[in-house]
């Protein structure tokens, strides 16, 4: 499996996770999504760590973005 294919799968996984906001998928759902995307892909321990990192970081990032957007949107309307 090439790094290019792996990166493509994980980029699409990232988009899929973000699209599920506010009901983010579980770790098992992410692994199943990868298998559905490419049934030959063998998920490594490093992949599992990356999936867990995405499930931790992406919701926090989206929440921060929403808070910042709301804050600056309010400032725009008040000026």
Predicted pLDDT of residue 34 = 97
Between these two residues, 69 and 14, which has the higher pLDDT value? 14
CA distance 74 to 70: 6
The confidence score (pLDDT) of residue 27 equals 98
pTM over 0.85: no
Residue-by-residue DSSP string for 31-59: HHHHHHH-TTPPPPHHHHHHHHHHHHHHH
Distance set, CA 52 to CA 30, 49, 56, 66 (Å) = 9, 5, 6, 22
Q: Where are the beta strands (DSSP E) in the chain?
A: none
pLDDT tens per residue, range 15-66? 999 999 889 999 999 999 999 999 999 999 999 999 999 999 998 988 888 8
Q: How far is CA 71 from CA 6, 50, 56, 60, 78, in A?
A: 37, 31, 23, 16, 11
* Span 6-20, average pLDDT: 96
Look at residue 1 in the predicted model and tell me its pLDDT: 59
């Amino acid at each position: 499996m090439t790094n290019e294919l792996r990166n493509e799968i994980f980029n699409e996984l990232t988009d899929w996770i973000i699209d599920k906001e506010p009901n983010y998928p579980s770790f098992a759902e992410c692994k199943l999504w990868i298998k559905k995307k490419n049934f030959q892909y063998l998920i490594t321990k490093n992949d599992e760590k990356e999936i867990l990192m995405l499930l931790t970081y992406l919701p926090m990032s989206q929440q921060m973005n929403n808070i910042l957007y709301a804050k600056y949107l309010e400032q725009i309307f008040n000026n």
